[in-house]
Amino acid sequence: MKEKFYVTTPIYYPNDLPHIGHAYTTIAADIIARWNKRQGKDVFFTTGTDDHGKKIVESAEKAGKTPKQFTDDLIPEFKSAWKKLDIKYDRFIRTTDADHEKVVGEILQKCFNKGDIYKGKYEGLYCTACESYFTEKDLDDGNCPIHKKPVEKLSEETYFFKLSKYQDKLLAFYKDNPEFILPKRRGKEIINRIKEGLHDVSISRASFDWGIQLPFDNSHVAYVWFDALFNYYSATREKGKENFWPANLHIIGKDILWFHAVYWPAFLMSAEIPLPKQIFAHGWWTLNKEKISKSRGKIISIDELIGIAGLDSARYFLFREASFGEDGDFSKSALIARHNNELADKLGNLVSRTSALAEKYGIEKTENQLLEKLNIDKIKIHFNEFRIDKALSEIFAFIDETNEFIQAQKPWETHDKKVLYQVVDALREIAKLLAPFIPSTAEKISEIFRTNKIKKSPILFSKIEASVSSETSRKTNKSGIQNKTMENVKTIQFEDFAKLDLRVAHITRVEEIPKADKLYKLSLNVGELGERTICAGIKEFYSPKDLKDKKIIIIANLAPRKLRGIESQGMLLAASTKDKKIVTLISPDKDIEAGSIVG
Ligand code: MSP
From ligand 1's centre to the CA of 487, what distance in Å?
43
Catalytic residue among 130, 456, 521, 551: 130
From ligand 1's centre to the CA of 528, what distance in Å?
48
Catalytic residue among 111, 127, 332, 382: 127
Mean pLDDT, residues 152-165: 93
Any atom of ligand 1 within 6 Å of the Cβ of 285 = yes
Any atom of ligand 1 within 6 Å of the Cβ of 322 = no
Tally Cβ neighbours within 10 Å of residue 121. Answer: 11
From ligand 1's centre to the CA of 9, what distance in Å?
9
Tally Cβ neighbours within 10 Å of residue 574. Answer: 18
Question: In which order are the strands placed within the sheet that holds 117-127?
Answer: 132-134, 117-127, 152-161, 201-202
> In a 3-state reduction of DSSP, which class is residue 386?
coil
Mean pLDDT, residues 187-212: 95
Half-sphere exposure of residue 461, counting CA atoms within 13 Å on the CB side?
Answer: 32
Asked whether the predicted pLDDT for residue 336 surpasses 80, the reply is yes
Question: Is 365 a known active-site residue?
Answer: no
What confidence score (pLDDT) does residue 382 get?
Answer: 97
What confidence score (pLDDT) does residue 304 get?
Answer: 96
Residue-wise burial string across 215-253, b where 16 or more C-beta atoms lie within 10 A, e elsewhere: eebeebbbbbbbbbbbbbbbbbebeebeebbebbbbbbb
Are 511 and 524 spatial neighbours (Cβ–Cβ below 8 Å)?
no
Between CA 334 and CA 313 the distance in angstroms is 11
Any atom of ligand 1 within 6 Å of the Cβ of 292 = yes
Alpha helices in 339-416 (DSSP H): 349-361, 376-384, 388-409, 411-414
DSSP lists the bridge partners of residue 182 as 280
Between CA 348 and CA 350 the distance in angstroms is 5
Question: Is 291 a known active-site residue?
Answer: yes
Asked whether the predicted pLDDT for residue 469 surpasses 50, the reply is no
Tally Cβ neighbours within 10 Å of residue 494. Answer: 14
Between CA 594 and CA 587 the distance in angstroms is 12
Top mutation candidate among 24, 94, 258 for ligand 1, by most atoms within 8 Å of CB: 24
From ligand 1's centre to the CA of 22, what distance in Å?
6
Any atom of ligand 1 within 6 Å of the Cβ of 228 = yes
Q: What angle do CA 120, 163, 122 make, to 5 degrees?
A: 25
Q: If we measure between CA atoms, which residue out of 456, 368, 450, 446 comes closest to residue 409?
A: 368
What confidence score (pLDDT) does residue 529 get?
Answer: 87
Question: Is 415 a known active-site residue?
Answer: no
Say which range, 39-43, 221-225, 252-256, 488-492, has the weakest mean pLDDT: 488-492
What confidence score (pLDDT) does residue 14 get?
Answer: 97
DSSP 131-166: TEEE-GGG-BTTB-TTT-SBPEEEEEEEEEE-GGGG
Question: Is 65 a known active-site residue?
Answer: no
Asked whether the predicted pLDDT for residue 492 surpasses 80, the reply is no
Any atom of ligand 1 within 6 Å of the Cβ of 52 = no
Q: Whose CA is nearest to atom 22 of ligand 1?
A: 21
Any atom of ligand 1 within 6 Å of the Cβ of 232 = no
What confidence score (pLDDT) does residue 497 get?
Answer: 74
What confidence score (pLDDT) does residue 517 get?
Answer: 86
What confidence score (pLDDT) does residue 264 get?
Answer: 98
Work out which ligand 1 atom sits closest to the CA atom of 10. 5
From ligand 1's centre to the CA of 247, what distance in Å?
19
Top mutation candidate among 227, 252, 289 for ligand 1, by most atoms within 8 Å of CB: 252
pLDDT tens digits, residue range 521-573?
A: 999 999 888 899 999 999 988 889 889 999 999 999 888 888 888 888 999 99
DSSP 472-505: HHHHH-SSSHHHHHHHTS----HHHHTT--EEEE
pTM exceeds 0.75: yes
Between CA 71 and CA 209 the distance in angstroms is 15
> In a 3-state reduction of DSSP, which class is residue 219?
strand
What value does the mean pLDDT of the chain take? 92
Q: Which residues contact 561 (CB under 8 A, 6 or more apart)?
A: 567, 568
> In a 3-state reduction of DSSP, which class is residue 506?
strand
In which band, very low, low, confident or very high, does the pLDDT at 483 lie, cut at 50, 70 and 90?
very low
Any atom of ligand 1 within 6 Å of the Cβ of 82 = no
Question: Is 130 a known active-site residue?
Answer: yes
Top mutation candidate among 9, 12, 144 for ligand 1, by most atoms within 8 Å of CB: 12
Are 420 and 362 spatial neighbours (Cβ–Cβ below 8 Å)?
yes
Between CA 211 and CA 234 the distance in angstroms is 16
Asked whether the predicted pLDDT for residue 476 surpasses 80, the reply is no
In which band, very low, low, confident or very high, does the pLDDT at 493 lie, cut at 50, 70 and 90?
low
Asked whether the predicted pLDDT for residue 578 surpasses 80, the reply is no
**For residue 577, how far is the Cα from the chain centroid?**
48
